[in-house]
Chains A and B, each alone.
Chain A
Amino acid sequence: MAIKSTETQWGGMAKLLHWLMALAIIGNGIFGLIMVEMPRGMGKLNAFALHKSIGLTVLALLLLRISWRWFDRKPRDEPMPRWQSLAAHLTHGVLYLFMLALPLSGWIMNSLHGYPLQFFKLFNLPALAEKNEDLSELAETAHETLFWVLLLVVIAHAGAALVHHLFERDNTLLRMLPFARLRQRKSGDSP
């Protein structure tokens, strides 16, 4: 598998970042919903610290991903109606926005609470806002709501990929899967 993307297939780097971030974001979201229910204590403090460190990792991976996407070529769109292709690209744009907004809203919320922000016990990051308990409640709601809305967009994104795979029988899904072989295009489509 080539590191860079080709005309028909996403490259190794794009696939790695796609699946790693999908796992990190959804996993950290579920983890976040569980950790808030934990009884107060060191276990909870450590769970929050881990959640924040994973969130910061997502943010760092996003920056890497945007840089890579800018540098890497993009595969051509699979043959599909124009509205589908527009909807797909719009969804991707929205997903990128959420990937940025989710960790950033967490960071801001943490700052408003006045909590330290430590990356895997290695180093600390500065606060993005002054401590403000009232606003922190608002940020908390925003942070959680963003996750639920992101989840809906992810379901739309994955659902569309599955529809293309199962009913259109094209390579939309396969070209993003780590070890899949592409389907042969119908005659006339292939270059």
Chain B
Amino acid sequence: MKPVACLLSLLFLSSPLLAADYTMGKGSTLGFTGTFQGEAFKGRFGDFQAKISYDPADLASASFDVTVHLASANTGDTDRDESLPGSDFFNITKFPTAHFVTTRFREEGGKVIAEGTLDLKGVSKPVNLEVTFAPREGGATLDVSARLNRLDFGIGSGDFADTSTIGAEVTVNAHLELESKT
């Protein structure tokens, strides 16, 4: 019975006995950096949720599960922010959220890499995060960054696919203030 086994393993993995579970606290941010006409611009997602289970000593049981409400994107430019929800970019009427979930963690050159799958605008593709984790009293701070190609997910389609005006590479970075679940 495969589905049952799956469910059981999920329960097993998310058990607080195996890894430290955290909730996302105040001061957590999720941002991205793109380029337009040769200049970098920064954006923020004001609305996102993250379920984090992480113990540096037990990477095998770590997991990140992040849901982003794409309508909350803000880049500080009215024209751009009015374009982002449209079908050429996020197409939020059809795909209101993006979802990232880790598949495994590995160490590489002293750094922790979280491998996962990003589901964005109807496309699921592997995305790797570089993880920096620092425990503190009552919780931890977690910084992650990833580089992805916007065209892999059809962000900026049609005329907007022109990478000489809108750069293909987008850096995504998050800073999470984690609070221990008790």
A residues with a Cβ closer than 8 A to B are: 40-43, 45-46, 49, 114-118, 121, 123-124
Is A42 within 8 A of B83, CB to CB?
Answer: no
B9 in the interface (beta carbon within 8 A): no
B83 and chain A: residue at smallest CB distance: A40
B86 and chain A: residue at smallest CB distance: A40
* CA gap between A151 and B47 in the complex, in Å: 50
Is A49 within 8 A of B159, CB to CB?
Answer: no
B77 in the interface (beta carbon within 8 A): yes
Interface residues of B in 14-61 (CB under 8 A from A): 36-39
List 10 additional A-B contacts (Cβ < 8 Å) besides A43-B159, A49-B37.
Answer: A40-B79, A42-B159, A49-B165, A114-B76, A118-B39, A121-B37, A121-B38, A121-B165, A124-B37, A124-B39
A52 and chain B: residue at smallest CB distance: B37
The residue that A124 contacts in the complex, of B38, B77, B79, with Cβ under 8 A, is B38
How far in angstroms is the closest Cβ of chain A from B129?
Answer: 28
How far in angstroms is the closest Cβ of chain B from A40?
Answer: 7
The residue that B160 contacts in the complex, of A42, A114, A118, A124, with Cβ under 8 A, is A42
* CA gap between A121 and B38 in the complex, in Å: 7
Selected A-B contacts with CB under 8 Å, 19 pairs = A40-B79, A41-B159, A42-B159, A42-B160, A43-B159, A45-B37, A49-B165, A114-B76, A115-B37, A116-B36, A116-B38, A116-B39, A118-B37, A121-B37, A121-B164, A121-B165, A123-B38, A124-B37, A124-B39
The residue that A46 contacts in the complex, of B39, B76, B165, with Cβ under 8 A, is B165
B residues with a Cβ closer than 8 A to A are: 36-39, 76-77, 79, 83, 158-160, 162, 164-165
How far in angstroms is the closest Cβ of chain A from B157?
Answer: 11
Which chain A residues lie closer than 8 Å to B160 at the CB level?
A: 42
A123 and chain B: residue at smallest CB distance: B38
Which chain A residues lie closer than 8 Å to B164 at the CB level?
A: 121
Which chain B residues lie closer than 8 Å to A123 at the CB level?
A: 38
How far in angstroms is the closest Cβ of chain A from B165?
Answer: 6
* CA gap between A115 and B79 in the complex, in Å: 11
Instruction: Kindly list the 7 A-B residue pairs having the minimum CB-CB distance in the complex, ordered from nearest.
Output: A42-B159, A116-B39, A116-B37, A124-B38, A118-B37, A118-B38, A42-B160
* CA gap between A152 and B160 in the complex, in Å: 39
Which chain A residues lie closer than 8 Å to B76 at the CB level?
A: 114
* CA gap between A49 and B38 in the complex, in Å: 11
Which chain A residues lie closer than 8 Å to B77 at the CB level?
A: 114
How far in angstroms is the closest Cβ of chain A from B154?
Answer: 15
From B37, B83, B165, residue with most partner A Cβ within 10 Å:
B37
A124 and chain B: residue at smallest CB distance: B38
From B38, B79, B162, B164, residue with most partner A Cβ within 10 Å:
B38
